Amino acid sequence: MDKKINFKNMINYFKGIYDGIKSLLGGMGVTMKVFFRKKVTEEYPENRKTLVVSDRWRAVLTMPHDENNEHACTACGICQMNCPNGTIQVISKTIETEDGKKKKVLDRYLFDLGTCTFCNLCVTTCPSDAIEFSDDFENAVFTRSKLAEQLNREGSKLREKKKEIV
């Protein structure tokens, strides 16, 4: 009985060696395949002009302004409500129009890139398409305070809707 146990142990020992060598050769085969592939190296930052960024890339939230420094944000606050971690702050003020009506307008639109999860909920829920993500990916800074910014420009105002003449 003692010899059977030793024989089984010896078979298991050589089976382990065989499995180890088989695994080692499999790994070395993968390594050799990759070793002889054509290398693809992005030469960043030298290729900034020709670098293609994916259309799905989300980097920095922006509020586009036209040549008259007008934006489309109505200060409704839907983007702020849908932001899962409070990255966006829409600060509005109430003004009185020429015909005596009170109207809510955007005072400041604050965005903190350091806490943004890039979930795109703010952009997809904006009813006026006032905000969008840019494809600028160079966002490294030394202090977190530089990641917080105001998106609406100084002196900007809501883009007026053109009235159709009937």
Q: What is the structure's pLDDT at 88? A: 96
Task: Please name the fold of domain 61-158.
Answer: Alpha-Beta Plaits (3.30.70)
Domain ranges of the chain: 1-40, 61-158
How much is the pLDDT for 16?
96
Residue 109 has φ and ψ, to the nearest 5°, of -120, 105
pLDDT averaged over every residue in the chain: 89
Q: pLDDT grade, residue 147 (50/70/90)?
A: very high
- Is it the case that residue 73 has pLDDT exceeding 70? yes
The DSSP code sequence of the chain is -HHHHHHHHHHHHHHHHHHHHHHHHHHHHHHHHHHTSPP----TTTTTTTPPPPTT----EE----TTSEE------HHHHH-TT--EEEEEEEEE-TTS-EEEEEEEEEEETTT-----HHHHH-TT---EE--------SSGGGGEEE-SPTT-EEPPPPPPP-
Tell me the pTM: 0.68
Burial class (CB in 10 A: 0-12, 13-18, 19+), 79: buried
Model pLDDT, residue 55: 84
Read off the pLDDT of residues 79-137 as tens digits, 9 standing for 90 and up. Answer: 999 999 999 999 999 988 888 889 899 999 999 999 999 999 999 999 999 999 998 88
What's the pLDDT at 115? 94
